[in-house]
A and B are shown apart, each in its own frame.
Chain A
Amino acid sequence: MIDILTNDALVTLIAIHAIAAIGMNLVYLTGQLNLGQAAFLAIGAYTTAWVDVELGWALVPSLMAGAVAAAIVAFPVAVGANRVRGIYLIMGTLAVGELVRVAIGNIEAVGARQGYFGMEPVSRGGVYAALAVVLVLALLLVASSHGLRMRSIFDDEDAAAAAGVATRRVKIAAVMISAAVVAISGGLLAKWLLFIAPRDFGVGVSFEVALYTLIGGVHSLLGALVGATLITVLIEVLSKVPDLDYVPSALHFLSGWRLVVFGALVIVLMPALPEGLVSRRTGLALSAPFRTLRRRYQSTEEQTHRRAGADLLPPANTAAIALVGITHDFGGVRALNSVDFSVDHGEIVALIGANGAGKTTLIDVVGGRLSCQVGAITLLGSDVTHWRPEMRTRTGLARTFQNVRVFAHLTVEETVRLGWLAARPGGPSSSDVLQLVGLEAHRDVLPGRLTLSQRRHLEIARAVASNPVVVFLDEPSVGMNDDERAELATLVRAIRDLGVAVVVVDHNLDLALGVADRVVVLDFGEIIATGSADDVLHDPRVRRAYLGENEPEEAIGEVEA
């Protein structure tokens, strides 16, 4: 066993596979499961081989040529991939894999179906050096702000956009970076095997590369290394079984059956470890030693950013946000009808209305999750009506979601930091925000360990960290008890005291009316009343529409609509 594992050829092969696994990891990290990596492996292999054989390029430039070629081909693929999600994305990438293979099989200059050879061999040291460089760069990327943005998309693309992540651009970049890294693996493979043919880059290879990451675990680069090593060693060791004296001959059949064993292993592993061998928690534990270092760096960065905004004052005489004539139809149903509504700086507005009144639709239109059909939205004086959600966030519009949408694989601290990355200058640092919402004791925890109330606070913290002009809270008190609700009210006031306008949408009238400076009542998509809590509660139209005309006042409280 040991003699096989210390076999240089095996270790080199592991290193080549590990590079492909890292490439796969970098794209799946953004939630895009690319099942066509064989295409980029092939492009890297053939480009590297061709510039080597025909132009006599050295190792590094020829690998770079492969990486660049793959990134170029990946661009249209990435743009197309952005239009689809889930299975359509998987199928689209499978298609790319097959198309590239067929195309290469028709290019006579690289031997077409017969294969291509004549390249200079790569030394083992060259392979290891390439792995080291790729690994270090990948680690830096994943640990960077950009890496945090990538990881947020894995968990929830809509919430990432609401947190100010330019999801489209990040995803396209990820496909291209991934293709380049996979192509380097392909280039090394070509110079290691010294003979390549289109059949070496079939869909089975794409599956194998995907399995490195899926079995190893996507939430840590260690997972990619573990997955690639495990699979390569398993197949290689099993193939050598008959050569080992200490393995009884009854087990020699395993050599031929190695892929059967591999398939069985996948079947056994997936239910046991659906996230792969290296879980997010293990990844967190591994990165723990670097936490202090990272915090120190981030805190300096955030202080500088804050000072840069110290002189910025909110423009006088402009509302924080103004909506004019917002109308929205779903098919034939009018969800919003010519809604006019504006919020001043540092004002708390409660937006109430029965179920189906159009409250969430309004937030979705304002936040940009739904495109605005009719009307205009002005944020701090700029017309943002047709802006992408992340641009609105970066300009000062933050929101939370009705069904709490936090990022399952980001720690509390990372989530708040993600919000901060989209912040306008001059706002609180992410550690200030953590303190404000009372989660600093839980900063290294994943949201799965938090209570519902804490997760709501986390989502609000993410919104506040972006230093918004106005923040929309969609039913923040659902599922909370009275104590938690009182805490939430205090938090809403504290946010207001930062100078932020807050719009609270809630079924719970105690909370909404208790904190609000002004109450706006929506009914069937129209604003039917606006004013102080007292005025609105005594407005006959509101009583009819929302509370039921003859209800005694005592019944006001938790209105189950």
Chain B
Amino acid sequence: MIQVLINGLLQGANYALLALGYTLVFGVMHLLTLAHGEVFMAAGLLALIIATPTTPLWLAAVIAIAVGAVLSILTDFVSFRPVGYARPIAAAVSTIGLAILILNATLQIRGSSTAVAVPFDIPRTDISIGGTLISMTQVVSLVVAIVVMVATHQFVQRTKWGMAMRAFAHDAETVALLGVPVRRLTVLTLGIAGSLAGLAAFLLAMRIGSVSPLTGLEVGLIGLAVMTIGGLGSLTGAMVAGVGLGVIQSFAAYYGFTGFQAAIPWLLLVLVLLVRPRGLIPTAQA
């Protein structure tokens, strides 16, 4: 049972890290990036391709995070800036184009849609929690995910740049007039979002041992659903909704609801939209 819970928490942390990225971008720039799922996939895949059996774990993680950040920042230059921040629909459509491009370029370069396995050994030490043996890697992953999420939240709430991000969300023009380097701000926002996606991809690889080129389409969309369930622009909402969804899915699988497991995030989304149309934790701006 504890194992089911841990699996759910890990899966949920994965969703939450992705949703945090979506919600950062949406919260700050009021734009939807539909390429985020593919950024997540490409970061994980590329890290596993670059890594060799002797690559230390931390280095592989750094590669995944770096690739995620770079690709995410690319979204700004390829989609958002050319279209303009004032055209949310056209910008979102452009990111659909980018998503199609990243996914299919990956498939063509790889030559197939088979998953890439982790080339290095994943440590297999177990620790005992309440009599159940739990993999040390899973515990560490969970701790890392939680620490990073809390740190992101604190960064946005407490630091000077975080304040600039929140101010930009409120009134982009005034923030520019106040002398905040707006272009660096959008790059920073997308960079953080991409790093979180890269970390999520690395943790996914550590958990299931591989990354599939098709994972971005599936998990990326679920991250989007999680953002909406949590409340647009709400960092706390994204974390709560992500972890909650992961745990629910994990227990649903445990009790044998496998046929409809893929429907759970979307059912939750529809329910939340009907009952609380602005998400679990609504923000003023959404």
Given known contacts A92-B273, A203-B217, A267-B78, is B108 in contact with A257 (CB within 8 Å)? yes
- CB contacts (< 8 Å) of B84 on chain A: these are 271, 274
Q: Is the interface of B mostly helix, strand, loop or mixed?
A: helix
- CB contacts (< 8 Å) of A204 on chain B: these are 217
Residue of A nearest to B263 (CB): A102
A256 to B232, CA, bound (A): 37
- CB contacts (< 8 Å) of B91 on chain A: these are 270
- Say if the beta carbon of A260 comes within 8 Å of chain B: yes
A257 to B262, CA, bound (A): 30
A469 to B171, CA, bound (A): 40
Surface stretch bound by A, among B6-14, B54-62, B65-73, B96-104: B96-104
A267 to B274, CA, bound (A): 34
Surface stretch bound by B, among A79-87, A399-407, A515-523: A79-87
Given known contacts A207-B96, A271-B82, is B101 in contact with A263 (CB within 8 Å)? yes
**A63-99 residues at the B interface, CB under 8 angstroms:** 80, 83-84, 86-88, 90-92, 94-96, 98-99
- On whether the beta carbons of A263 and B87 are closer than 8 Å, the reply is no
**Number of chain A residues whose Cβ lies closer than 8 Å to a Cβ of chain B:** 40
- Say if the beta carbon of B123 comes within 8 Å of chain A: no
A90, A259, A260 pick with most chain B CB within 10 angstroms: A260
- On whether the beta carbons of B262 and A98 are closer than 8 Å, the reply is yes
- On whether the beta carbons of A95 and B266 are closer than 8 Å, the reply is yes
Given known contacts A33-B89, A90-B32, is B97 in contact with A265 (CB within 8 Å)? yes
Residue of A nearest to B96 (CB): A207
- On whether the beta carbons of A88 and B228 are closer than 8 Å, the reply is yes
Which of B87, B92, B100, B262 lies in contact with A102, CB distance below 8 A? B262
Given known contacts A91-B224, A267-B79, A270-B97, is B262 in contact with A260 (CB within 8 Å)? no
As a 0/1 sequence over residues 262 to 273 of chain A, the CB contacts with chain B under 8 angstroms (1 = contact) are 111111001100
- Say if the beta carbon of A362 comes within 8 Å of chain B: no
A408 to B98, CA, bound (A): 29
B83, B102, B270, B274 pick with most chain A CB within 10 angstroms: B270
Which of A94, A102, A267 lies in contact with B94, CB distance below 8 A? A267
- On whether the beta carbons of B221 and A94 are closer than 8 Å, the reply is yes
- On whether the beta carbons of B260 and A102 are closer than 8 Å, the reply is yes
A84 to B267, CA, bound (A): 16
- Say if the beta carbon of B26 comes within 8 Å of chain A: yes
As a 0/1 sequence over residues 183 to 212 of chain B, the CB contacts with chain A under 8 angstroms (1 = contact) are 000000000000000000000000000000
- Say if the beta carbon of B4 comes within 8 Å of chain A: no
B38 → chain A closest CB, angstroms: 10
- On whether the beta carbons of A91 and B26 are closer than 8 Å, the reply is no
Residue of B nearest to A86 (CB): B88
A265 to B270, CA, bound (A): 33
- CB contacts (< 8 Å) of A94 on chain B: these are 221, 224-225, 266
- Say if the beta carbon of B46 comes within 8 Å of chain A: no
As a 0/1 sequence over residues 198 to 212 of chain A, the CB contacts with chain B under 8 angstroms (1 = contact) are 000011100100110
Which of B97, B228, B262 lies in contact with A267, CB distance below 8 A? B97
- Say if the beta carbon of B105 comes within 8 Å of chain A: yes
- CB contacts (< 8 Å) of B89 on chain A: these are 33, 214
- On whether the beta carbons of A256 and B221 are closer than 8 Å, the reply is no
Residue of B nearest to A97 (CB): B266
- On whether the beta carbons of A267 and B101 are closer than 8 Å, the reply is yes
- On whether the beta carbons of A274 and B269 are closer than 8 Å, the reply is no
Residue of A nearest to B264 (CB): A102
- On whether the beta carbons of A259 and B94 are closer than 8 Å, the reply is no
**Number of chain B residues whose Cβ lies closer than 8 Å to a Cβ of chain A:** 44
Residue of A nearest to B101 (CB): A263
- On whether the beta carbons of A80 and B274 are closer than 8 Å, the reply is yes
A373 to B84, CA, bound (A): 40
A353 → chain B closest CB, angstroms: 27
- Say if the beta carbon of B259 comes within 8 Å of chain A: yes
A329 to B32, CA, bound (A): 34
- On whether the beta carbons of B94 and A91 are closer than 8 Å, the reply is no
- CB contacts (< 8 Å) of B270 on chain A: these are 80, 92, 95-96, 99
- Say if the beta carbon of B180 comes within 8 Å of chain A: no
- CB contacts (< 8 Å) of B181 on chain A: these are none
- CB contacts (< 8 Å) of B219 on chain A: these are none
Which of A80, A267, A274 lies in contact with B98, CB distance below 8 A? A267
- On whether the beta carbons of A91 and B225 are closer than 8 Å, the reply is yes
- Say if the beta carbon of A375 comes within 8 Å of chain B: no
- Say if the beta carbon of A531 comes within 8 Å of chain B: no
A385 to B94, CA, bound (A): 45
- On whether the beta carbons of A98 and B217 are closer than 8 Å, the reply is no
- On whether the beta carbons of B32 and A92 are closer than 8 Å, the reply is no
- CB contacts (< 8 Å) of A87 on chain B: these are 26, 32, 228, 232
- Say if the beta carbon of B90 comes within 8 Å of chain A: yes
A250 → chain B closest CB, angstroms: 16
- On whether the beta carbons of B266 and A99 are closer than 8 Å, the reply is yes
- On whether the beta carbons of A263 and B100 are closer than 8 Å, the reply is yes
- CB contacts (< 8 Å) of A215 on chain B: these are 93
A94 to B220, CA, bound (A): 13
Given known contacts A91-B228, A102-B263, A105-B259, is B221 in contact with A203 (CB within 8 Å)? yes
- On whether the beta carbons of A84 and B277 are closer than 8 Å, the reply is yes
A56 to B225, CA, bound (A): 40
- CB contacts (< 8 Å) of B104 on chain A: these are 257, 259-260, 263
- CB contacts (< 8 Å) of B228 on chain A: these are 87-88, 91
A96 to B102, CA, bound (A): 25
- CB contacts (< 8 Å) of B267 on chain A: these are 95, 99
- On whether the beta carbons of B90 and A274 are closer than 8 Å, the reply is yes
A214 to B32, CA, bound (A): 16
- Say if the beta carbon of A106 comes within 8 Å of chain B: yes
- On whether the beta carbons of A91 and B93 are closer than 8 Å, the reply is no
- CB contacts (< 8 Å) of B225 on chain A: these are 91, 94-95
As a 0/1 sequence over residues 209 to 232 of chain A, the CB contacts with chain B under 8 angstroms (1 = contact) are 011001100000000000000000
A264 to B105, CA, bound (A): 11
Residue of A nearest to B95 (CB): A267
- CB contacts (< 8 Å) of A96 on chain B: these are 266, 270
A90 to B95, CA, bound (A): 14
- CB contacts (< 8 Å) of A264 on chain B: these are 97, 101
Given known contacts A98-B266, A99-B263, is B93 in contact with A270 (CB within 8 Å)? yes
A91 → chain B closest CB, angstroms: 4
- CB contacts (< 8 Å) of A58 on chain B: these are none
A90 to B32, CA, bound (A): 10
A188 to B101, CA, bound (A): 29
Sorted nearest first, the 10 A-B pairs with minimum C-beta distance are A266-B97, A263-B101, A263-B100, A271-B82, A259-B104, A95-B266, A270-B94, A102-B263, A274-B90, A91-B228
Interface residues of B (CB under 8 A from A): 26, 32, 78-79, 82-84, 87-94, 96-105, 108, 217, 221, 224-225, 228, 232, 259-260, 262-263, 266-267, 269-270, 273-274, 277-278
Other than A92-B273, A267-B101, give 13 A-B pairs with Cβ distance below 8 A. Answer: A80-B274, A87-B32, A88-B228, A94-B225, A98-B263, A99-B267, A102-B263, A106-B260, A257-B105, A259-B101, A260-B100, A266-B96, A270-B91
Identify 24 residue pairs between A and B in the complex whose beta-carbon atoms are under 8 Å apart, listed by A's number. A83-B274, A86-B88, A92-B269, A94-B225, A98-B221, A98-B263, A98-B266, A99-B263, A102-B262, A203-B221, A211-B96, A214-B93, A259-B104, A260-B108, A262-B100, A266-B93, A266-B100, A267-B97, A270-B79, A270-B82, A270-B97, A271-B84, A274-B87, A274-B90
Interface residues of A (CB under 8 A from B): 33, 80, 83-84, 86-88, 90-92, 94-96, 98-99, 102-103, 105-106, 202-204, 207, 210-211, 214-215, 256-257, 259-260, 262-267, 270-271, 274
